[in-house]
Structure 1
């Protein structure tokens, strides 16, 4: 009887997880996120953690809170399975964990979840997904060890000492994706079986570095003319933002842009974005502290120059009038083959220190936000155009905060609407005034009395 009640409880838990996942899937308008699943070995369980609300995209800060709560009672041997690409669709399309078990390709993962009470995060922000390893390193206080199954057999691990083991799992979209997911599940099963053989308790996490499927809800996007920050179309390649982690203060600078065009002496524009958001760019020279942040992007062979740097200099300034700190961008600098082109940022590039700054267009031409420094002629040789530009240099928690946009509130469309409304109000007021001025006749011809006669002079 007790076993029957236990089976019913497990089944009810699985049904609740399935319902939560499908509710989140149906409510989500853009799936530019990755799922995350956390579970423990036999004999251990995660503490009671509040599941994400329906439609919530979990940020890096909330993931850290989940991890801190889990480490209070769970084993500190963390096994992190990082797949190149992963989406909820991989589970629902190919069966398994949350789909049809008859055609399951996640046999080992399903068995591990059956023996535990897992934490399921269907939508983890992809800016946080790219730094999952760093977040876990910071919380455990130990460096990550990237190993494979053969290397794991050579490691001497102890349950009394925390450790972070990272296993990289490949992924390729197309016809090979199903077979690669099956092999990933086999790898997960082999690793867990080896840890069980050693009698080593563990806490396991399975997630991806970026989504394998990016789809949008068509009825929400058709005819949509508004602005949505960092939201990509189904055909676009998702590019995670640049995240700079300081050795002393942790994550401190977030940067993203759709286009980073630079051109020298009226030459053809060169887009730096494909080189920037590929997880391989060097950030050497970047620094940040409580009052100043400097983001340095290092390139090679750009527009004919062997070495090239794009530098953003931001400062935190306290304004007594508003009684708060503001982030102000001071300069944008181009360093190329020993030469420097310095652009002063206009006063329009600013935001409260706890917010991020966004602008659809940042350029040194046509209502420029970047002005060439008068002390050098090199800046006049360059043309800069950044589109869908967004940056945050203070109070970074793993994902962009609320964006303060450079666009003024009174846009041309709003002015046209206001002028038209005022004109209509004026016409209505004039018409009402004319109606109120109408007067009736004070004398009328009485048909019962003598007729009004008008004598005519002969």
Structure 2
């Protein structure tokens, strides 16, 4: 397979200017970049002013002009996370270009008609699959490079090919290695399309922004503290629309009393089997370590409160072909438009979960979710949690102790004040200069 062409100095200079524009566009925490290029030509697009964030309407209007009339083949390279800082940190803009993780992507952009949207609103970027499906009139086909090489692409009809790309999890590979492998996948797919002589339009973007160097607090670097890797929420999408979100600092599981706790929050799960609709949602997390967690939620209307509420009906843990079902000891619920949050969700010592019909082989299974938050309904294209309904009541034991202690001290103060206000002076005093008061005694 032929390697990437070396861009001319003029094109490299233009490419550098493009990436410096990306850097000047502000923080990457609120938006993601969208890169588009075509083997033919793209409609002109005015250069965005600094600080401009492309909205859903703007993106939909441009995609409509790109797809236009007639058949089109669109390649959507959808990465789990992507930010402008990824290009500056791993793209080699300030260093050796041969060390860049995006060599093939840079060559493709410079050798084709390309358009750059440096900052696209999260709701707009997550709606790209749905927008393309609407404009092309076909459903997306999830493919990889090997599948595409054996796939017959009909040039006379519209095609929507979706290529899913991972992002670094910080466990086995560095971010630069993962992005370099993604770059090789993009180049391989483009070469396959070129070999098949199929004209195409390619789009490269992310579902959410990645947490990069510019997002870390400055105080951390000044104190030279260790950088903590904050995992993003687990999000299940339907047709590009967020449907279920879950986040936890720790997802501890243990199968025996003598075994060590396994923290599943450090692993990246597969969401295969997850589903959601207006009344029921199920989030299925399958981990490479052999565990599967399933969260089943339901939504219903309660006339007394005149509103919809959602309930976490059960949590299932599967391992080694066995399944344990945990239900709520005390109701785990929240208004349908809210999320549910709790500092600790477990089945340990009066926890919120209770093992249903425990058998001898699973009676020692334990769950312990730390700083747990979940939302199964009412996301409405949000990429963050709605207002959280916390499991802790307002009057916690500590608050009750403080109130009772304050009340006791107040009663003591009121009693003392009452005693002082009711002191009476004597009507008659003993005068030391006069005759003493004599009290006759009778025999």
TM range (shorter): 0.5 to 0.7
Distance 2:284 2:151 in 1: 40
> 2:76: which partner in 1?
80
Q: For 1:137-216, what aligned pairs fall within 5 Å after superposition?
A: 139=134, 140=136, 141-144=138-141, 146=143, 148=145, 156=153, 158=155, 161-164=158-161, 166=163, 173=174, 180=180, 187=187, 194=194, 200=199, 202=201, 204-207=203-206, 211=210, 213=212, 215-216=215-216
Equivalences, count = 389
The CA RMSD measured in Å over matched residues stands at 5.8
- Where structure 2 has 5 or more consecutive residues not aligned to the other structure, the ranges are 1-13, 423-432, 436-443
Q: Quick one: structure 1 residues 411 and 148, their matched pair in 2 at CA, closer, same or farther if it must change by over 3 Å?
A: same
Q: Determine if the alignment matches structure 1 residue 345 to structure 2 residue 292.
A: no
Distance 1:221 1:358 in 2: 31
Contact 1:312 1:331 in 2 (8 A): yes
Q: Quick one: structure 1 residues 234 and 146, their matched pair in 2 at CA, closer, same or farther if it must change by over 3 Å?
A: farther
SS at match of 1:318: strand
**CA shift digits 1:360-382 (9 cap, x unpaired):** 21012244111344x55557533
Q: Quick one: structure 1 residues 337 and 322, their matched pair in 2 at CA, closer, same or farther if it must change by over 3 Å?
A: same
Q: For 1:7-406, what aligned pairs fall within 5 Å after superposition?
A: 17-18=21-22, 21=25, 23-24=26-27, 35-39=32-36, 41=38, 42-45=41-44, 68-75=60-67, 76-82=72-78, 86-93=82-89, 107-108=106-107, 111=110, 117-121=115-119, 124=122, 139=134, 140=136, 141-144=138-141, 146=143, 148=145, 156=153, 158=155, 161-164=158-161, 166=163, 173=174, 180=180, 187=187, 194=194, 200=199, 202=201, 204-207=203-206, 211=210, 213=212, 215-219=215-219, 234-236=227-229, 238=231, 241=234, 243=236, 245=238, 252-271=243-262, 273=264, 277-280=267-270, 282-283=272-273, 286-297=274-285, 310-334=293-317, 341-373=324-356, 376=358, 380-396=363-379, 397=381, 399-402=383-386, 403-406=388-391
Q: Quick one: structure 1 residues 418 and 15, their matched pair in 2 at CA, closer, same or farther if it must change by over 3 Å?
A: farther
Distance 1:73 1:301 in 2: 46
SS at match of 1:371: strand
Distance 1:409 1:349 in 2: 16
TM-score by length of 1: 0.60
SS at match of 2:282: strand
- Where structure 1 has 5 or more consecutive residues not aligned to the other structure, the ranges are 1-9, 224-232, 303-307, 438-454
Distance 1:342 1:425 in 2: 50
Q: Quick one: structure 1 residues 269 and 124, their matched pair in 2 at CA, closer, same or farther if it must change by over 3 Å?
A: farther
TM-score by length of 2: 0.62
Shift of 1:147: 5.1
Contact 1:40 1:74 in 2 (8 A): no
Shift of 1:209: 8.0
Distance 1:288 1:376 in 2: 28
Q: Quick one: structure 1 residues 386 and 198, their matched pair in 2 at CA, closer, same or farther if it must change by over 3 Å?
A: same
